[in-house]
Structure 1
């Protein structure tokens, strides 16, 4: 995914202002996870009528305005084998990586539900259909991402701001093409899964699987935006548009929601689901935390 180096002018990271935080009492972890379940069930039933929706609902798919029940909803025929939630109680975001099916075709859904007063006020998705010619053919969607659900060890929990800062070091490593110079703190057991394929760490099938040893493509136009911070579970979910590299297809960029297990000052696991979208694809949602150049 990152293995071709390019030249180009270095663009700074996009600065986005965070909105005011919602009260943590509005929707707890059980409530947020339940909203993800309700949403997935509604997609499978092709019927959004039972969802608890705010009066003013905003929906985007792949960075474009959409209508609830349209887009990828119309082709889904079943539930796959993988789902991993990222529940941000402070900011009231219920996010998830979800594996659905369209016949025999895996449909990988990056989902973020923006919640107000216990109701869904916004639905944000990035959706990838795994066709036979897709460069990544999922192999590990039938199991949890190793370590992602492990409890944060006692005394190793980090502040929200520090978790975000660690995840942004990874984004900076992608931007400059060097995780070492960017100071990305990988734990010894860290591994990365992308669209159901282990691309680094234990289980990787590449010629070089070490995160600090793999050749990284330079992504000078990379834009990161924080989607959710699950403080209890030690995870940060970040939307990223990798920008122009002339390597993801004509006029295309890789757009992902990438999750990082962060505790004790290090990244311990990474899970990403992505699609190849037009280079200018915006997130169209404000970051849940300030994101500034490093």
Structure 2
């Protein structure tokens, strides 16, 4: 009888521990709330309001900081209407992009949180102060299609979302736009500036289930053709690639990386550009620490939002 009660106690304790493990998993709503709470804590400069693991690490603009440093000290106002949150229950991570204030100035902020047993084990900030005091129209409100849920017929699996997001870096790095599945209506905004398409405006909002927006306007350079023109040959390498967050509900995936620019040439050749055969880029070597958010549905990249911060050449990731 004593042996029976001992085994029963072991089973109960095991079940209790297992239930605690599952209870520590953060679901989609929990991750979104964690992100909102974190952003609020940044503004109030109260890292103690968040549950950090004892060995938690925080990296801001590729440099390790402690809670209370960096944006924990400089944040002066919370997110505006521009706020993108991407939860991933599988990896227990949540990331996003917001417009907030740092030292009283508007800033585009990319962030990522990783949880383990309900506690933050990794926090990452990418802070880019906007030029001037005015927020550009592209960063005043999130584009309508970004937060939209993807209809079942057009939805991609988490693994597929991550694979497609990763392919973007190969396409840019190898100067081959065919290596990534860009939609004809692909629209890319970097630090508030629309960098693709160029040469014309795409109408509509690119909503799943509607006809693709036209990309055949005279002089139009798309996300794919821009790469095929060799416009990005001055990018020497893309290192520290990390694509770990994807949300199947909205078709959003997040990638962090470092675009390395050796700048060992001042002229770079272009292909199939009727107006020019080369371009001058007289810059010193530099890195661009970047975060991209991809809107993917139907197996194609439709929209890209990017925040990037310049750094010295060969800057380590901070991790």
Q: Above 0.5 in TM-score?
A: yes
State whether residues 165 and 243 of structure 2, in contact with CA within 8 Å, keep that contact through their aligned partners in structure 1: no
Mapping 1:204-283, distance limit 5 Å = 208-214=220-226, 215=229, 216-218=231-233, 219-223=235-239, 224-246=241-263, 250-283=284-317
State whether residues 140 and 196 of structure 1, in contact with CA within 8 Å, keep that contact through their aligned partners in structure 2: yes
Aligned to 2:166: 168
State whether residues 85 and 94 of structure 1, in contact with CA within 8 Å, keep that contact through their aligned partners in structure 2: yes
> 2:154 aligns to what SS in structure 1?
coil
CA offset digits 1:254-283 (Å, max 9, x no partner): 111101112221111111111111232333
C-alpha separation in 2, matches of 1:100 and 1:248? 33
> 1:31 aligns to what SS in structure 2?
helix
Counterpart selection for 1:188 from 181, 184, 187: 184
Please, which runs of 5 or more residues in structure 2 have no aligned partner? 1-20, 203-218, 264-280
Aligned to 2:115: 115
Q: 1:248 to 1:35 in 2, by over 3 A?
A: farther
> 2:184 aligns to what SS in structure 1?
coil
> 1:108 aligns to what SS in structure 2?
strand
C-alpha separation in 2, matches of 1:42 and 1:112? 15
Q: 1:232 to 1:169 in 2, by over 3 A?
A: same
CA offset digits 1:163-186 (Å, max 9, x no partner): 222122211111022313x2x222
Superposition deviation, residue 106 in structure 1: 1.6
State whether residues 254 and 291 of structure 2, in contact with CA within 8 Å, keep that contact through their aligned partners in structure 1: yes
CA offset digits 1:77-108 (Å, max 9, x no partner): 21242210111110000111121113552212
> 1:77 aligns to what SS in structure 2?
strand
> 1:68 aligns to what SS in structure 2?
coil
TM-score, L = length of structure 2: 0.73
> 2:54 aligns to what SS in structure 1?
strand
- The structure with the greater share of residues assigned to helix is 2
Superposition deviation, residue 193 in structure 1: 1.5
CA offset digits 1:36-78 (Å, max 9, x no partner): 1111111111121211222222111122211112113322221
User: Are 1:179 and 2:177 an aligned pair?
Assistant: yes
> 1:189 aligns to what SS in structure 2?
strand
State whether residues 194 and 272 of structure 1, in contact with CA within 8 Å, keep that contact through their aligned partners in structure 2: yes
**Which has the higher relative contact order, 1 or 2, with Cα contacts under 8 A spaced 6 or more apart?**
1
Superposition deviation, residue 115 in structure 1: 0.7
Please, which runs of 5 or more residues in structure 1 have no aligned partner? 1-21, 286-294
CA offset digits 1:179-215 (Å, max 9, x no partner): 13x2x222232211212222224758xx754223334
Q: CA RMSD in A?
A: 2.6
From the CA coordinates, give the structure whose radius of gyration is larger.
2
State whether residues 105 and 131 of structure 1, in contact with CA within 8 Å, keep that contact through their aligned partners in structure 2: no
Aligned to 1:157: 155
Number of residue equivalences: 258
Aligned to 1:124: 124
